[in-house]
Chains A and B, each alone.
Chain A
Amino acid sequence: GDSVTQMEGPVTLSEEAFLTINCTYTATGYPSLFWYVQYPGEGLQLLLKATKADDKGSNKGFEATYRKETTSFHLEKGSVQVSDSAVYFCALRTGGGNKLTFGTGTQLKVEL
């Protein structure tokens, strides 16, 4: 079946540090890939997406590139802010199903 593996958290960074959150997947067919963010006490918000190999999704300074050869979709940001503190979820969706399959989430804490 489909699965998503994310790096364990929490990840603690100083403000303006570089962020990488690793995500790899296994899937049947050609999935679309997503990053969602969950701020404390809130629901999930779509952060970015990529629907085919070599696509780069980007939003709010975050980027992720769909790498089919390594089955990865790592999230990066060049300079994090305290307001980026949240839980980040990598997810995929394949043509065989209608659901999102989520990774376990990675908590990010950004300190001054």
Chain B
Amino acid sequence: DTAVSQTPKYLVTQMGNDKSIKCEQNLGHDTMYWYKQDSKKFLKIMFSYNNKELIINETVPNRFSPKSPDKAHLNLHINSLELGDSAVYFCASSHGTETNQPQHFGDGTRLSIL
């Protein structure tokens, strides 16, 4: 009965490769997010989708491309991976965009670039 699930949990790959991370939520939420957590545990929003429409696109290199095929899924594709992309990537979801709605997080995808 996992609420927000991400795959893979661990991703180790070479610099320059292209990789994807998948996220699915079964909470019936209509808003999904990608956050990046760096080595110092700092969390920063990358993207947000509401009803499959992009509503937040922070200052992220265009090598990162999110895709939301439906409200329950938000995938993240990364081209030409760089050393600085090593981090933990968290998917989250919420019901709507109201400020009082908490966001529910997945367990994270630990990306390591060699």
Contacts and interface: CB of A to CB of B under 8 A. Distances in A.
B18 interface: no
B94 to A, nearest CB: 8
A46 B104 CA distance: 7
B86 interface: no
A43 B106 contact: yes
Contacts, number: 61
A38 B35 CA distance: 14
B42 A99 contact: no
Given A44-B90, A87-B41, A105-B42, A98 B31 contact: yes
Nearest to B103: A100
A65 to B, nearest CB: 16
A103 B35 CA distance: 14
Interface in B43-87: 43-45, 48, 50, 55-56, 58
Contact of A102 (B43, B97, B108): B43
A104 B41 contact: yes
Chain A interface size band reads 20 to 34
A42 B37 CA distance: 12
Contacts of A38: 41
Nearest to A30: B99
A40 to B, nearest CB: 11
B42 A102 contact: yes
Interface of B: 4, 31, 33, 35, 40-45, 48, 50, 55-56, 58, 90, 92, 97, 99-100, 102-108
5 contacts: A34-B102, A38-B41, A102-B44, A105-B42, A105-B43
Given A30-B99, A93-B99, A99-B45, 7 more contacts: A32-B100, A43-B106, A51-B100, A95-B99, A98-B31, A98-B56, A102-B43
